[in-house]
Amino acid sequence: MGKTVNPRRVAENEARAKIVNLRISPRKLNLVAQSIRGLPVQRALNELEFSPKRIARDVRKALYSAVSNAENNHNLDIDNLVVTEAYVGKNILMKRFAARARGRGVRIEKFFSEITIVVRELGQEAA
């Protein structure tokens, strides 16, 4: 008796990619995620290519991964893909201390975050 297959977490015309442990605060990462939400994939890639933000390079890799998942794993047409969801979550928080004057110390918080990108294939009439 084998293990039962987990159901898909996304619809039949969707694919997703997730990157965890990105060394940036969720607040800053969400600014980049907002810039690509709802855009066609090619336009979103152009947006990330010319973005001045450092993290845009990693978000672009995640978007490429979602497109590759759509093409190879789910047989979706990459010309009709749209970024339907791009959401950000909190991850671990590293706590460090920095020495200050008079023997004090202050806490430095180094945030990590994660991003999930979901792409959906639209029909020919919607594109």
- Secondary-structure class of domain 14-121 per CATH: alpha beta
The domain segmentation of the chain, as residue ranges, is 14-121
Beta bridge partners of 94: 110
Cβ-contact 16, 116 below 8 angstroms: yes
Alpha-carbon distances of 45 from 100, 110, 117, rounded to whole Å = 44, 28, 13
CA dist., res. 93 & res. 122, Å (int): 38
Asked if 88 and 77 count as a contact pair (C-beta separation under 8 A), the reply is no
pLDDT band at 9 (very low <50, low <70, confident <90, very high): confident
Tens digit of each residue's pLDDT (9 = 90 or more) over 18-43: 999 999 999 999 999 999 999 999 99
pLDDT band at 124 (very low <50, low <70, confident <90, very high): low
What are the helix (H) ranges across 17-127? 26-36, 41-49, 56-72
Mean pLDDT score of the chain, rounded to an integer? 94
Q: What is the tens place of the pLDDT at every residue in 54-105?
A: 999 999 999 999 999 999 999 999 999 999 999 999 999 999 999 999 999 9
